[in-house]
Amino acid sequence: MVGKIKGTGSYRPVQVWDNDKLSHMMDTSDEWIRGRTGIGQRHIASGGETVAYMAARAAEEALSDAGMRPEEIDLLLVSTMSSERIMPCAACEVQKLIGAVNAACFDLNGACTGFLLALNTAQAYLGQQIYRRALVIGSETLSHLTNWKDRSTCVLFGDGAGAVVLEAEENAVYTQAVHSIGSKGEALTCVSRNQQQFIEKDADISSTYMQMDGKEVFKFAVSKVPEVIMEVLEKAGKTKEEIRFYMLHQANKRIVASVSKHMNEPLEKYPMNIENLGNTSSASIPLLLDEWNKKGRLNSGDWIILSGFGGGLTYGASLLQW
């Protein structure tokens, strides 16, 4: 017994910043950003578009797609590393906003692998028959953790939320693998929320922004993602030819293209929406899943691989049947 995805939903902030706008804010260009990353624009949260608000909007859409009422959900997980509040957790805020009054709620932080980790957690509960229906959401306001004076990182990120509804089913299939390399954690950091720094005069607040060794992260992603996908395929006794889509965390078009090449599987099997959304960390996989679901590209019975990678460093893959 594991969960099957019954519905998907998403939320994209109203405000859109394209590369030309960024080129007026700093020394960069549409050509550089598109060429190195595949990103053309990103959505930027404003006003009341918090992690919890976006998560709630995505959750409502997923519930409607699944034909379920909020009271029917008994587990509600939010994956995020950018929640505006430390307490209450975003999942409890979502519960209040959508009326999922019967759900157990908590947040997880697994950086860009976070959605996959939340999905695995929900599957563990559903597999043990502790809960029957789960809402799993990835929601991020990365623009709040971005140093808008650092052109090497700020052009990469965007805000948004994606959600899926899972229901336990006898014949559903789910196979997963996750790994962590804590010793390489310094390649991607954000030592945020250190309030003391703001009190100290002349405090160095650079650590409150995301910092990244881009080349190190690139090398890590292109070597480990194919490895973990093959691990999951072997575990499940599936071949790569049986997979309809590989849905990867949308960090960089060149990372996706490199994984496709390593796997010797055509790029058409790797959906991408990074051009319109940028890197939305743990929201990127459910945003992509929802887009392909809404476009009617997913058929019942399709085998799909999801793969996330990022801060930690962490990486993982999951196989599911649509």
**What is the pattern of x (binds ligand ACO, CB under 6 A) and - over residues 96-115?**
----------------x---
Q: Is the peptide bond before 266 cis (omega within 30 degrees of 0)?
A: no
35/67 with CB nearer ligand ACO: 35
Q: Does 64 bind ligand ACO (CB under 6 A)?
A: no
* Residues 237-256 close enough to bind ligand ACO by CB under 6 A: 251-252
Question: For residue 290, what are the CA distances in angstroms to 232, 240, 286?
Answer: 23, 23, 6
What's the closest the beta carbon of residue 80 comes to ligand ACO, in angstroms?
A: 14
295: exposed, middle or buried (Cβ count in 10 Å: 0-12, 13-18, 19+): exposed
Both tokens of residue 32? 């550089």
Under 8 Å between Cβ of 270 and 258: no
Please give the angle made by the CA atoms of 88, 137 and 155, to the nearest 5 degrees. Answer: 95
- The span from the CA of 301 to the CA of 322, in Å, is 5
147/197 with CB nearer ligand ACO: 147
What's the closest the beta carbon of residue 28 comes to ligand ACO, in angstroms?
A: 3
Interface with ligand ACO by CB under 6 A: which range of 42-50, 194-202, 207-215, 261-269? 207-215
Q: Does 90 bind ligand ACO (CB under 6 A)?
A: no
106/218 with CB nearer ligand ACO: 218
Q: Collapse the DSSP code of 211 into the 3-class scheme (helix H, G, I; strand E, B; otherwise coil) and give the result.
A: strand
Of all residues in the shown chain, the one whose CB is closest to ligand ACO is 214
70/312 with CB nearer ligand ACO: 312
- The span from the CA of 162 to the CA of 135, in Å, is 11
- The span from the CA of 255 to the CA of 275, in Å, is 14
What's the closest the beta carbon of residue 246 comes to ligand ACO, in angstroms?
A: 16
Both tokens of residue 148? 């808008």
Catalytic residue status for 279 = yes
Q: Does 310 bind ligand ACO (CB under 6 A)?
A: yes
Both tokens of residue 137? 């959401």
64/152 with CB nearer ligand ACO: 152
* Residues 12-31 close enough to bind ligand ACO by CB under 6 A: 28
- The span from the CA of 35 to the CA of 5, in Å, is 35
Instruction: Name the active-site residue from 89, 112, 154, 190.
Output: 112
DSSP 100: -
How many Cα neighbours within 13 Å face the side chain of 126? 31
Q: Does 307 bind ligand ACO (CB under 6 A)?
A: no
Catalytic residue status for 144 = no
How many residues line the site for ligand ACO (CB under 6 A)?
21
Positions in the binding site for ligand ACO (CB under 6 A): 28, 32-33, 36-37, 112, 151-152, 155-156, 188, 212, 214-215, 217-218, 251-252, 279, 309-310
Q: Which residues are catalytic?
A: 112, 249, 279
